[in-house]
Structure 1
């Protein structure tokens, strides 16, 4: 394939733009903020789960407290009824003994229930403190996640801007390159990652391998408009005064 040397050198401009576009894509995939966001989402979810677990404990304790209070109220109501019967003076001796025995039993039962209720309330207070701590931890995790998201989005916006500029540069270069040469370049770029490279100081700019004397001699004898390829990596070799020929 033949192409004007100036046109061939235009491939270097295209290769430079494509290299920058490749870097943009690489940065888009590997930016540290992506891992930070992923880790932040996991951390925030763990804190949410912890908060939910605490709330479930509180709900269970609230139900137990309500049940305990209801039972205490029932004991107190029974005790009030018995005391009214005693105060009324209308019960017989046997019923009086039974009532006194029942009142003693109710008093003991009430004391036990109230102690249990106090223990429940203390447990609830401790769990409530855990809940406040969990809320603080969740707020911190969500704040860290929001910051990671903000930095990721800023970086993505910068990359988008850079990519748009490079795409515009690429669009200006393409009309300068013949279709057959461009097709060859694109094929090489797809296969090797680099479509064209400068031959500088007898070294290929794509694979960085120094060409042997035989190859250098062949290149010297090749017409300037002949499109050459690196025998090592296959990239299109662009000759300039820097090539050392």
Structure 2
């Protein structure tokens, strides 16, 4: 392939622009905010699960407290009715009165036991309420942390995208004047060679793979016509000769 020396030199300008675009794309993919967001999202999700579990426990304990208090009230009401019957003199049979007094005594013990249960449930309810309050505050804080990280990411994206749009316009201005066949070769090699399709021949060295040529190889390059598109024997990239190339 042949191309005017000026067009080959323009490949170096295009390569520099493409390398800048690659750097911007890499920066966009590896923003530190992305790792922050991943961690903040994981923390936020875990806290949401903990809040749901704590709220479920609080709801269950609240129902348990209601049931325990209801049991106490039922026993208290039964004892009150028994006491009312004994005080009214409606029970005249000694045996019935004895049974009623025995039941009232049992109810008193039952009421005391149930009141102990109510106190124990109230303690657990207080702990469950505190747990929900604590976790809810932590969840709210994690939401703020996540939103702040996302805002920083979006600001960085905007800055990078603005820079990339400008660099892309510069690329289009350079690429449009490069012959199609040369541009296609450069593009193919860039895809194959990790983003670098054209490299400067600097003295005896290919700036693409950093390999120095033997004197005989350098003489062979010098013998090529100025419009010949020379390729590096080591990496295959287009080897662009300039006034400083020595070839």
Give the TM-score of the pair, scaled to structure 2: 0.94
Structure 2 residue matching 1:242: 3-state secondary structure: coil
Matched residues in 2 for 1:158 and 1:201: separation? 38
Matched residues in 1 for 2:43 and 2:212: separation? 51
2:231 matches 1:235: no
Gaps of at least 5 residues in structure 2 are: none
Q: How far 1:30 moved relative to its partner? A: 2.0
Q: How far 1:87 moved relative to its partner? A: 1.9
**1:143 paired residue number:** 144
Structure 2 residue matching 1:118: 3-state secondary structure: helix
Structure 2 residue matching 1:210: 3-state secondary structure: coil
**2:184 paired residue number:** 183
**2:223 paired residue number:** 221
Structure 1 residue matching 2:66: 3-state secondary structure: helix
Q: Which moved more, 1:228-237 or 1:136-145?
A: 136-145
Q: How far 1:102 moved relative to its partner? A: 1.1
Matched residues in 1 for 2:201 and 2:33: separation? 38
Q: How far 1:244 moved relative to its partner? A: 3.2
Q: Which runs of 4+ in 1 moved over 3 A?
A: none
Matched residues in 2 for 1:9 and 1:95: separation? 118
Cα RMSD after superposing both structures = 1.3
CA deviations on 1:64-112 (whole Å, 9 max, x unpaired) are 1111011111111111211211121111122221221111111111111
Q: How far 1:22 moved relative to its partner? A: 1.2
**1:25 paired residue number:** 25
2:30 matches 1:48: no
Residue-pair matches, total: 245
Matched residues in 2 for 1:201 and 1:70: separation? 96
Q: Which moved more, 1:201-210 or 1:49-58?
A: 201-210
Q: How far 1:28 moved relative to its partner? A: 2.1
**1:173 paired residue number:** 174
Matched residues in 1 for 2:206 and 2:154: separation? 38
Q: How far 1:242 moved relative to its partner? A: 2.1
1:37-186 pair list within 5 angstroms: 37-92=37-92, 93-186=94-187
Q: How far 1:2 moved relative to its partner? A: 1.3
Give the TM-score of the pair, scaled to structure 1: 0.95
Matched residues in 1 for 2:214 and 2:136: separation? 69
Structure 2 residue matching 1:176: 3-state secondary structure: coil
Q: How far 1:128 moved relative to its partner? A: 1.4
